[in-house]
Copies of this chain bind each other. A is one copy, B any other.
């Protein structure tokens, strides 16, 4: 049986190109004792992966040229020589952009299909959902009545950040990259205000208009000039949750901008970065809470799905053009 895989073909400069990836065919491996063979149903493409294919020093080694592209995945066990898994089990892991993968059962978790559709294992109940949950609640610590501003608000992380902030009683404002996304935030997700950053020239003036009480919590997925403007609008004791800086992931030279630290003194404010992996001991708590909100209709999620492993590079590149609403997924095989 053939396995199709997408490997990193070249180290991208700037915005990745399709030719930075290559589809290869190999023999599907046979599971040995204690192993299972998983068939990929969905793979996740996320902005953070840009850092994983860069030579820039980061929290993990970069993907090597010729290596299967990394990323979150959910799939179905098709063959098992592992005593805890059987064919048909749905598992979540990080086996990357390939149709089949071997596992020893240690790097996968079983997904409870009674909770929600299995695609949510990569979205609202997976890494993006956990990122929103811990970043907002643990780092941002929003209090009722405070103003929470989220950049990249129509993405997988940002859309949940805004909805959780509403549950916590905050005034919630978001920015996104198209009129349709802004409409989604206001109409479907209950944001109090939202704007299309591509149609705004004076970010500070716009923020003053939509956050008239100033900004208490800024959940930053974006960085760049919008973040510069936010620093001028923060309140005393503001918390800046540094989650992503997609604005600079494709930079070909060290990004420069306004110096921001002075604002932290004047406002006695805090900027803090985090990685969701540090919260692994509390994943279950978060997933149960999010699943409960889902069941109660208090949060909703959007997915943008493309079909076919071969379209993974295009879907990934599309993230940097803002082509996704909510979670961007690639359906490799129907569940």
Contacts and interface: CB of A to CB of B under 8 A. Distances in A.
Interface string A239-267: 00011110010000011111111111111
Contacts of A278: 268
Interface string A200-236: 0000000000000000000010011001000000000
B273 A265 contact: yes
Contacts of A243: 265
Of A248, A254, A263, A272, which is in contact with the most chain B CB atoms at under 10 Å from its CB? A272
Contacts of A269: 272-273
B257 A267 contact: no
A267 B256 contact: no
B258 A254 contact: yes
Nearest to A261: B242
Given A272-B269, A273-B267, A261 B227 contact: yes
Contact of A242 (B57, B256, B257, B264): B264
Contact of A223 (B59, B256, B259, B268): B259
Contacts of A258: 254-256
A293 interface: no
Contact of A256 (B256, B265, B268): B256
A248 B262 contact: yes
Given A258-B256, A259-B255, A259-B257, A266 B227 contact: no
Main secondary structure of the interface of A (DSSP, over half): mixed
A272 B270 contact: yes
Contacts of A180: none
A58 interface: yes
A270 B268 contact: no
A333 interface: no
A265 B274 contact: yes
B255 A273 contact: no
- Closest 8 A-B residue pairs measured CB to CB? A264-B273, A265-B273, A270-B272, A255-B259, A242-B264, A271-B271, A242-B261, A245-B262
7 contacts: A57-B266, A59-B266, A59-B267, A242-B264, A245-B259, A265-B274, A268-B273
Given A254-B258, A270-B270, 11 more contacts: A59-B266, A220-B261, A242-B264, A248-B262, A256-B259, A257-B257, A260-B261, A263-B273, A264-B271, A267-B273, A268-B272
